[in-house]
């Protein structure tokens, strides 16, 4: 687990193929686009729409989705506070590996706690963690509720559900706020692409 000490026999092996070399080959910088927001706020939908636009530009990308990682990487974790913290810690470490591989990684996680998002930011080079807040009113998220999770949470069938029985701590200074509750998907995706555009080709 994350609290276990690292063995003195474990060393970090540096690669001859560096991040800079990968970025030069890709012709764009790598970065972590961290989409955060309530369940139903459109994080996954938006991250995939942004990825599609970046892919069409020839960028190397990968989406880490909250549901998908729980099929494998985080399949042993539940949804209590400790497991949520560990879930985000693991995703942060994987994101760091993608960053070194020269890839633009887009993460779609509720990640409700500011401390967890800050922890991920702290393990990445300055400026490589871009927090994107998918701002969507709770009532709209509940109206969408494709999985019926809010209904079950309201009925007491799901404990510690973010926005109902567990808090969501909105970013205080996100890189970008996207109004996913009222603005179209195309507009939201374009806002993200426009925001990161200056960073894509910087120092490559």
What is the set of domains in the chain, with CATH numbers?
19-200 (3.40.50.300)
Predicted pLDDT of residue 84: 86
Q: Could you read off the pLDDT of 31-84 as tens digits, one per residue?
A: 999 999 999 999 999 999 999 999 999 999 999 987 787 888 888 888 888 888
Neighbouring CB atoms inside 10 A of 93's CB total: 13
pLDDT category of residue 203 using cuts at 50, 70 and 90: low
SS3 21: helix
d(CA 9, CA 90): 22
d(CA 96, CA 120): 9
d(CA 21, CA 92): 23
pLDDT category of residue 13 using cuts at 50, 70 and 90: confident
Higher pLDDT, 39 or 8: 39
Predicted pLDDT of residue 202: 66
Q: Are 95 and 141 in contact (CB under 8 A)?
A: no
Pick the catalytic residue from 4, 111, 165, 166.
Answer: 111
Q: What mean pLDDT do residues 136-161 have?
A: 92
d(CA 40, CA 168): 13
DSSP string, 79-140: SSHHHHHHHHHHHHHHHHHHHHTT-EEEEE-----HHHHHHHHHHS-TT-EEEEEEE--HHH
Q: What mean pLDDT do residues 147-151 have?
A: 92
SS3 66: helix
Q: Could you read off the pLDDT of 84-141 as tens digits, one per residue?
A: 889 899 999 999 999 999 999 999 999 999 999 999 999 999 999 999 999 999 999 9
Predicted pLDDT of residue 1: 47
Q: Could you read off the pLDDT of 166-202 as tens digits, one per residue?
A: 999 999 999 999 999 999 999 999 999 999 999 888 6
d(CA 49, CA 69): 19
Active site residue 111: yes
């Amino acid at each position: 687990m994350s609290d276990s000490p690292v063995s003195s026999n474990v060393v970090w092996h540096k690669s001859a193929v560096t991040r800079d070399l990968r970025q030069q080959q890709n012709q764009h910088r790598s970065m972590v686009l961290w989409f955060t927001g309530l369940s139903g706020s459109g994080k996954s939908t938006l991250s995939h729409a942004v990825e599609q636009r970046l892919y069409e530009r020839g960028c190397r990308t990968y989406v880490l989705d909250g549901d998908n990682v729980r099929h494998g990487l985080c399949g042993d974790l539940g949804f209590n506070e400790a497991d949520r913290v560990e879930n985000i810690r693991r995703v942060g470490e994987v994101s760091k590996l993608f960053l070194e591989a020269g890839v633009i990684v887009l993460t779609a996680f509720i990640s409700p706690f500011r401390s967890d998002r800050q922890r991920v930011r702290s393990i990445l080079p300055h400026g490589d963690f871009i927090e994107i807040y998918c701002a969507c009113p709770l009532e709209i998220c509940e109206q969408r509720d494709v999985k019926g999770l809010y209904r079950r949470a309201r009925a007491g069938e799901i404990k510690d559900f973010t926005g109902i029985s567990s808090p969501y701590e909105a970013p205080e200074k996100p890189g970008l706020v996207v109004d996913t509750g009222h603005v179209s998907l195309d507009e939201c995706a374009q806002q993200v692409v426009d925001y990161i555009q200056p960073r894509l080709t910087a120092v490559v």
